[in-house]
Copies of this chain bind each other. A is one copy, B any other.
C-alpha cells in the first residue's frame, strides 16, 4: 500500500480518493468493461443498449418497459429511445399485453438473439479468465458482498435499525 502522504489539504475530513467506495466500484467496473467494450462497438452496440439486450436474453417471456428500466438502471425516456433504436434494427420486438393496452412486452427478436449469441461466448470466456485469475471463491464472495451492499443502500429511507450486521470490528485486521 502507498504510505501516508505529506499532509492533508486544509482539514477536509475525507478519506483518500482511492478509498472512496463509489470510485472503487467505478474503477473495478471500468477494469471489467475495458476489455469488453471493443466487442460491443464492433457490433455498433452501446453499453446501455447491451444492458437491455443482456437483460432480455435472460428472460424467455420478455419484460415490460418498467421492469426493463429497473433492471438496467435506465430512465424511462432513455430506455424509450434505446428501444426505438433497437426495434428499428430488428434486435427487439414488442408484444401487446392483452390485459392492459398501455403496456408493452419487450422481447429479443431473432436478430437480437443471434447478436447476443455471437457476443456471449466471448464475454463468457473473459469471465472464465477473470474467475481463474481472481479465484472462483473470491468472485462468489465479491458478488455476494455487492449484493449485500446494494441491499443495505436501498434501505436508506427506511428506519435505521441496523443491528442485524452487528460487526463491531474489534478484532485487529
Contacts and interface: CB of A to CB of B under 8 A. Distances in A.
A19 B131 CA distance: 13
For the complex of A and B, list the 10 residue pairs with the smallest distance between their C-beta atoms, beginning with the closest: A135-B167, A31-B153, A25-B29, A17-B58, A136-B169, A133-B162, A31-B150, A24-B146, A28-B146, A137-B169
Interface residues of A, number: 82
19 contacts: A5-B60, A9-B59, A14-B116, A21-B139, A22-B36, A23-B54, A24-B143, A25-B32, A28-B153, A30-B150, A31-B149, A129-B160, A133-B155, A133-B165, A136-B167, A138-B167, A141-B145, A142-B142, A145-B145
Contact of A148 (B36, B60, B134, B152): B134
Interface stretch (A80-88, A90-98, A117-125): A117-125
Contacts of A19: 143
Contacts of A165: 133-135, 138
